[in-house]
Amino acid sequence: MQAEKTIEFSALPSVKDFCLTVPLYDRFEYDDDKANGFFELEQFEGTLDFHCPECAGHSVFSVRKNNYTSNSHYKNYVFSLLFYCSRNNSHRALFVFRAHMGVIEKIGQSPSVAELALPDLGKYRPVLGAERFKELTRAIGLATHGVGVGAFVYLRRIFESLIEEAHRLALSDAEWNDDEFCQGRMVEKIGMLEKHLPKFLVQNRGLYGILSVGVHTLSEKECLAAFPAVRLAIELILDDLLEEHERKAKLKSAAQSLASLKASGGRAEA
Ligand SMILES: [Zn+2]
């Protein structure tokens, strides 16, 4: 249950993750002995697909050709990747990195990680409600600045409230054992709610052992490491709820148009 509690990054994140989701000042080791341990990042020539604030939509960004001549020991070596929006050349995204003595970190970026992530989350607002939506955006904002425990507390609260919603549904199941549920740890609760939660979450419930651990015993690093898994679980649950929400909205509007059809004289089926 606690196996995945600490996820150490031994390798550098992919260029995409490093630019778009890794918080600023998160430090990664690179092989200092190699000619260039972060060659792939520094010399990146591909495209990235992300939200363009100026287009107010997703766009494909291409990197401007880099032509860096680095010194051999990478002491205080700062380099950047500048991307152009394929829709409009004046829309830019900039990511700045610093490499120093075998450690590389992202030291700046525009748009911010939160700006890149939030437009995708906006769709969940109707199923999450205003208060929890605010908490979710706050959690992501904190995590992007490396505030692990604070971010984790918000995320955990949202996760627990979604589990509680599933629990309320389960109460009407025939052989539901509520005492067992209430005494269970989070991993067991997820297992018992199998019918009311996304399959992926139930199958990977081992990842959520950390949710039964007191926040005061967790380090900033452990909270940041667990953050992506909890965020994913929340998004999966929300995807299901959103689907249900949209299905109901469609049924309602279908019922309304049928009713107005009838009212306007269609008496075929009296
Ligand atoms: Zn754009």
pLDDT per residue as tens digits for the range 127-161: 999 999 999 989 988 887 778 899 999 999 999 99
Boundary of a domain, candidates 110, 145, 169: 110
The whole-number pLDDT of residue 86 equals: 95
Verify cis geometry, omega within 30 degrees of 0, for the bond prior to 111.
yes
What is the Å distance from ligand 1's center to 53 Cα? Answer: 7
Within this chain, do residues 105 and 116 fall inside the same structural domain, yes or no?
A: no
The pLDDT of 42-68, averaged and rounded, is 86
The pLDDT of 219-238, averaged and rounded, is 86
Segment 191-215, tens digit of pLDDT:
999 999 998 889 988 888 888 888 8
What is the sign, positive or negative, of the torsion defined by CA atoms of 229, 231, 234, 240? negative
Q: List the domain range (segments joined by +) for residue 126.
A: 112-254
Boundary of a domain, candidates 110, 127, 161: 110
The whole-number pLDDT of residue 7 equals: 37
What is the Å distance from ligand 1's center to 89 Cα? Answer: 8
SS3 readout for 47-112: EEEEEECCCCEEEEEEECCCCCCCCCCCCCEEEEEEEEECCCCCCEEEEEEEEECCEEEEEEEECC
- Quick check: 59 pLDDT over 90? yes
What is the Å distance from ligand 1's center to 47 Cα? Answer: 14
What is the Å distance from ligand 1's center to 60 Cα? Answer: 8
The whole-number pLDDT of residue 246 equals: 92
73-82: string of b/e by CB count within 10 Å (b at 16+)? Answer: ebeebebbbe
What is the Å distance from ligand 1's center to 115 Cα? Answer: 14
Within this chain, do residues 116 and 214 fall inside the same structural domain, yes or no?
A: yes
- Quick check: 109 pLDDT over 90? yes
Boundary of a domain, candidates 54, 86, 110: 110
What is the Å distance from ligand 1's center to 195 Cα? Answer: 42
Confidence label for 70 from pLDDT (cuts 50, 70 and 90): low
Within this chain, do residues 17 and 70 fall inside the same structural domain, yes or no?
A: yes
Q: Judge whether 1 lies within some domain.
A: no
What is the Å distance from ligand 1's center to 3 Cα? Answer: 42
Q: Judge whether 3 lies within some domain.
A: no
Within this chain, do residues 116 and 90 fall inside the same structural domain, yes or no?
A: no
What is the Å distance from ligand 1's center to 52 Cα? Answer: 5
What is the Å distance from ligand 1's center to 58 Cα? Answer: 8
What is the Å distance from ligand 1's center to 263 Cα? Answer: 47
Within this chain, do residues 101 and 127 fall inside the same structural domain, yes or no?
A: no
What is the Å distance from ligand 1's center to 63 Cα? Answer: 14
What is the Å distance from ligand 1's center to 54 Cα? Answer: 5
What is the Å distance from ligand 1's center to 57 Cα? Answer: 7
- Quick check: 270 pLDDT over 60? no
The number of domains in the chain is 2
Segment 164-197, tens digit of pLDDT:
999 999 999 989 999 999 999 999 999 999 999 9
